[in-house]
Amino acid sequence: MEIELTDQNGIVFTAQVNAKSWRKAETSASEFADWAGAVSGKLGQRTEKGFEVVDAGIQIFEKKAKEVKPDVGETVAEAGASS
Protein backbone atom coordinates (compact mmCIF):
# COMPACT_ATOMS: atom_id res chain seq x y z
CA MET A 1 0.00 0.00 0.00
CA GLU A 2 1.42 3.38 -0.97
CA ILE A 3 0.60 6.36 1.23
CA GLU A 4 1.46 10.02 0.83
CA LEU A 5 1.80 12.48 3.70
CA THR A 6 2.18 16.22 3.18
CA ASP A 7 3.79 18.44 5.81
CA GLN A 8 2.90 22.06 6.57
CA ASN A 9 5.46 23.25 3.99
CA GLY A 10 3.91 21.20 1.19
CA ILE A 11 6.68 18.57 1.12
CA VAL A 12 5.25 15.16 0.22
CA PHE A 13 6.56 12.01 1.89
CA THR A 14 5.74 8.80 0.03
CA ALA A 15 5.87 5.48 1.87
CA GLN A 16 5.22 1.86 0.94
CA VAL A 17 3.54 0.00 3.81
CA ASN A 18 3.07 -3.75 3.59
CA ALA A 19 -0.48 -5.06 3.39
CA LYS A 20 -0.40 -6.72 6.82
CA SER A 21 0.62 -3.48 8.56
CA TRP A 22 -2.01 -1.52 6.65
CA ARG A 23 -4.79 -3.96 7.62
CA LYS A 24 -3.71 -3.81 11.26
CA ALA A 25 -3.77 0.02 11.15
CA GLU A 26 -7.24 0.01 9.55
CA THR A 27 -8.54 -2.35 12.23
CA SER A 28 -7.11 -0.21 15.03
CA ALA A 29 -8.58 2.97 13.54
CA SER A 30 -12.03 1.37 13.30
CA GLU A 31 -11.89 0.27 16.96
CA PHE A 32 -11.02 3.72 18.37
CA ALA A 33 -13.51 6.59 18.59
CA ASP A 34 -10.68 9.14 18.29
CA TRP A 35 -7.25 8.19 16.99
CA ALA A 36 -3.95 9.48 15.65
CA GLY A 37 -1.36 7.75 13.53
CA ALA A 38 2.39 7.73 13.06
CA VAL A 39 4.54 6.64 10.13
CA SER A 40 8.12 5.67 10.85
CA GLY A 41 11.03 4.78 8.62
CA LYS A 42 14.22 6.10 7.09
CA LEU A 43 14.34 9.19 4.91
CA GLY A 44 15.08 7.96 1.42
CA GLN A 45 15.75 9.53 -1.95
CA ARG A 46 14.38 12.89 -2.98
CA THR A 47 11.45 12.76 -5.41
CA GLU A 48 9.86 15.44 -7.59
CA LYS A 49 7.44 16.38 -4.79
CA GLY A 50 9.46 15.55 -1.66
CA PHE A 51 11.02 12.37 -0.28
CA GLU A 52 10.37 8.68 -0.05
CA VAL A 53 10.26 6.88 3.30
CA VAL A 54 12.20 3.60 3.26
CA ASP A 55 11.27 0.61 5.46
CA ALA A 56 8.06 2.40 6.48
CA GLY A 57 5.86 1.28 9.31
CA ILE A 58 2.51 2.64 10.46
CA GLN A 59 0.97 2.66 13.92
CA ILE A 60 -2.41 3.89 15.17
CA PHE A 61 -2.92 5.21 18.71
CA GLU A 62 -6.12 5.85 20.60
CA LYS A 63 -6.50 9.48 21.63
CA LYS A 64 -7.86 9.58 25.15
CA ALA A 65 -9.41 12.62 26.79
CA LYS A 66 -7.02 14.27 29.21
CA GLU A 67 -8.08 14.22 32.84
CA VAL A 68 -8.66 17.72 34.16
CA LYS A 69 -6.64 18.27 37.31
CA PRO A 70 -7.77 20.90 39.84
CA ASP A 71 -5.38 23.75 40.60
CA VAL A 72 -3.28 23.27 43.72
CA GLY A 73 -4.74 26.47 45.26
CA GLU A 74 -8.28 25.17 44.83
CA THR A 75 -7.42 21.89 46.59
CA VAL A 76 -5.92 23.70 49.57
CA ALA A 77 -8.89 26.07 49.80
CA GLU A 78 -11.33 23.16 49.71
CA ALA A 79 -9.39 21.28 52.40
CA GLY A 80 -9.39 24.37 54.65
CA ALA A 81 -13.13 24.94 54.14
CA SER A 82 -14.08 21.51 55.46
CA SER A 83 -12.19 21.95 58.78
Structural domain count, the chain: 1
Cβ–Cβ < 8 Å for 3, 37: no
pLDDT the model gives residue 64:
86
pLDDT tens-place string over residues 31-82: 999 999 999 999 999 999 999 999 999 999 999 888 777 666 555 555 555 5
CA distances from 23 to 26, 49, 59 (A): 5, 27, 11
pLDDT the model gives residue 72:
61
pLDDT the model gives residue 80:
55
3-class SS at 37?
Answer: strand
**Domain, as residue range, for 52:** 2-81
Identify each DSSP E strand in the chain by its residue range: 2-6, 12-16, 35-46, 50-62
Question: Mean pLDDT throughout 14-38?
Answer: 94
pLDDT the model gives residue 61:
94
